[in-house]
Amino acid sequence: MITVVIAVYNCEKYLRQCIDSVIKQTYQPLEIILVDDHSKDSSFAICQEYEKNHSNIRVVQSSSQSPGGTRNVGLRLVDTKYVYFLDCDDYINEQALQTLFDICEKNDLDMLTGEFVGMNEVGIIKEKVSKSRKETDILTGEEYLKFSTKNNYTGLCIWSNLYRTDLFKKNGIEFFEKTYFDDMSSFISIVSHCRRAKFIPYQFYYYRRHEGSIMTADKDWPYVFYDVFCRIKQTLTENDFNRKMMSYTSQMLLYSAVESLSKAYKTSQYMEYVSKFKTDHIFKKALLRTPKTKQKLLYLIYFSPKLLGRILSAIKKK
C-alpha cells in the first residue's frame, strides 16, 4: 500500500486539482495525509472538506513553518510499505502510482525516480524540465548518486520519487526543517542508505511555476543557497562516506556554493559570501575532490568576481 503525503500551505487556487489527481489514481487502495502548515487562505477548509467526504483522507495541522517540517509531520504518521510526497500546487497523472508501484515491487526497490514536465500558472506545459534519459539498471546508493550528479541532479526533488517507507524509518531520516530546498539538503542522506534504486524515463509529475511559489518568491537567495551549503556540509560531517560518495557529494556542495555566489553577484553581499567560502575548509576540500577541469573553472570563479560576471552574462544570452 502507498501513502501520499501532501504538504499544504496557502495553495487554495491549485489544491483541489492536486488532491483530485491522487483520488483518481488507478492504484487503489491508498492513503492520503494532508498536512496543513496553518495556511492563511482557505486551504485548511478545503482539506477538511475532502476529509469529510473521503474515508482514506486524513488531515493534520503543523506549526513547522517550512516544507521539510510539514513533510516530517506526515512521514511520522505513515505505516504503509511505500510513501510518496506531492507538492500542493502540482499534480500527477492517473497511472503514476500504479506504474511506480509495479516497478518497485518487481525489482524490490528502495527508491524509484521518474521524470517531470514544467507548466505555467494556468497549467499550460511550457517546457520539459528534465532531459530525456534512458532507464537505468538497478543501482546502489553510490551508483545512483553518481548517475544523479551526471544527469542534472536527477531525483533530487522529493516528488520525483516513490520511496520504501523503511528507507526513512529504519535509518532515522527526516527532512531538514526551517530551510528552503529541504529535499536537496536531505537527498544525500536518503540516497546513501539506498540498497536498490532505479530511474525510468516516465513523465508523470506536473510541476507548476507561479507567482507566490518558493521558486518565484522574493527571498534572500544568496543566504538560501548558503544555508543549503551548510546543510549538505552537516550531512557530510555526520556520515562516514567512502571516497567516491564524498566526491559526488562534494559536487552538490559546490553547486549550492556557486548558486549562492551567483545570486549575490552585483550586490553588496557578494564579497561577504566570497569571504565565507574562502575561509571554509570543507569548501576547499570539496574543490579538491572535483574533476580537474571543473576544479580549475571553479577556482577561477571562486577568486574572480569579474569572470563570474562574464560567465553569467554569457549564460543569460543563450
What pLDDT score does 215 carry?
46
Query: Distance between CA atoms of 216 and 222, rounded to whole angstroms?
Result: 14
Report the share of the chain in percent with pLDDT over 70.
Answer: 72
Q: Which domains does the chain have, with CATH numbers?
A: 2-208 (3.90.550.10), 221-317 (no CATH)
Alpha helices by DSSP H, listed for the chain, are 15-23, 43-53, 67-75, 96-107, 141-150, 165-169, 182-192, 221-238, 243-264, 270-278, 281-289, 292-303, 305-317
pLDDT at 315 over 80: no
What pLDDT score does 240 carry?
66
pLDDT at 261 over 90: no
Mean pLDDT of the chain: 81
What pLDDT score does 217 carry?
46
Q: Which residue has the higher pLDDT, 243 or 1?
A: 1
Helix (H, G, I), strand (E, B) or coil at 57: strand
Query: Distance between CA atoms of 17 and 30, rounded to whole angstroms?
Result: 17
Bridge pairing between strands 82-87 and 2-8: parallel
Low-confidence winner among 132-136, 228-232, 242-246, 267-271 (lowest mean pLDDT): 242-246
For residues 27-39, give the mean pLDDT. 95
Alpha helices by DSSP H, listed for 265-291, are 270-278, 281-289
The alpha carbon dihedral of 44, 45, 46, 50 has a sign of positive
What pLDDT score does 216 carry?
42
pLDDT at 311 over 80: no
Helix (H, G, I), strand (E, B) or coil at 6: strand
What pLDDT score does 274 carry?
73
Q: Which residue has the higher pLDDT, 276 or 51?
A: 51
Q: Which residue has the higher pLDDT, 51 or 278?
A: 51
Which pLDDT tens digit goes with each residue over 77-108? 999 999 999 999 999 999 999 999 999 999 99
Which pLDDT tens digit goes with each residue over 201-234? 999 999 887 565 444 445 676 777 777 777 777 7
Q: DSSP class of residue 134?
A: P
